[in-house]
Amino acid sequence: MMKITARIPLALVIAAGAATPGLAQQPASTDFPPAISVSGEASVSAPPDLAQIDAGVTSDAKTAREAAEANNTAMAKVLQALKAAGIEDKDYQTSRLSLQPQYAPNRPGQSTVVGYRASNRVTIKLHDVSKVASLIDTVVGAGANDVGNVYFTVAEPSKLLDQAREKAVADARRKAEIYAKAAGVTLGAPLSISEEGTPTPMFRVKTLAAPMAAASTPVAQGEETLSIAVSVTWAIKTGQ
C-alpha cells in the first residue's frame, strides 16, 4: 500500500526559568511561552468502493476514411455492450478520440504514409468494484482492444480523513506527554494545530493490458491507505 506522510522533527522548546542579564529589562510580553512542539501521524485503510476503467478501440486501415469508419462501427458495439451491462450514460465519457497517419519505419529523409490509425476510448466509472473483471471481459468481448488504467478509489474519502485527523492529534498528545514527563513539566492546552502538507488519499493504480477473451480477467482491488500528519504545539503549565 502506498502512502505519503509529511514528517517534521520532534522539537522540545522549554522557556528558560530566568532571563540573562542582557535580557532582564525586556518586557515579559516578548518572551516565548514555555511550550512543546511535536508532530502526530495517523493512517486509515479502507477497501475501495469506486473503480475507473479506460476501454476503447484502435483501428488501422489504408485510408483515413476506412480507419474512421471501422473504428466507429467497432466502438458502437462497445457502447452498446456498456448499456446492456447496466452502465448509466453519466458513468462513461469519451476520453480520447484521434485519427493519425502511420509512417513507414526505417526510411530516413522522406516520410511515407502507409496507413491511418483511428482510436476512440471511453472512461468508465463503476460503483460496484466487484464487477470490474466482468466488465472488462464484457467490453473485450464486444471488440475493445485498448483496455487499461484501472483505478480503485474511495468515493467519499473525507470521512476517513477525519478519522485519521483525530488519531493524528491523539498521537501528537501521546508524544508531547512523553516529553513533558521526561522534562519534569506538566502539559497544558494546545496553542496551535496545523496540518502538514495536503492530505490526499493514496490509491493503488493497476494497469491491465487487453486480456485474452478465452479467460476471465484477474483483478485484485486491495485496500487504500489515507494518511494525515499534523504539527501541534502544547503549552507547559507554569506555577506547578
Note down pLDDT in tens along the chain; length 240 residues. Answer: 333 333 334 443 433 333 333 333 444 444 668 899 999 999 998 888 899 999 999 999 999 999 999 999 999 999 999 999 999 999 999 999 999 999 888 766 677 899 999 999 999 999 999 899 999 999 999 999 999 888 888 888 888 899 999 999 999 999 999 999 999 999 999 999 999 877 655 554 444 444 444 456 666 667 778 899 999 999 998 865
pLDDT at 17: 37
Report helix, strand and coil shares of the chain as percent, to nearest 5: 30, 35, 35
The grid coordinates of residue 163 equal 478519522
Burial code of 19-40, b = ≥16 C-beta within 10 A, e = fewer?
Answer: eeeeeeeeeeeeeeebbbbbbb
What secondary structure letter does DSSP report for 35?
Answer: E
Superfamily of segment(s) 11-43+157-199+225-236: Protein of unknown function (DUF541), domain 1 (3.30.110.170)
Output the pTM of the full model: 0.63
Q: Which three cell numbers stand for residue 196?
A: 502538514
Taking the C-alpha atoms of residue 229 and residue 238, their distance in angstroms, rounded to an integer, is 29
pLDDT of residue 201: 55
* pLDDT of res. 16: 35
Supply the pLDDT for residue 199: 62
| Measured distance CA(191)–CA(188) in Å, rounded | 9
The reported pLDDT for the residue numbered 57 is: 97
Write down the pLDDT at residue 108. Answer: 65
CATH number 3.30.70.2970 given to 50-153: yes
Where along the chain do its domains lie? 11-43+157-199+225-236, 50-153
- The residue assigned the cell 502539559 is 187
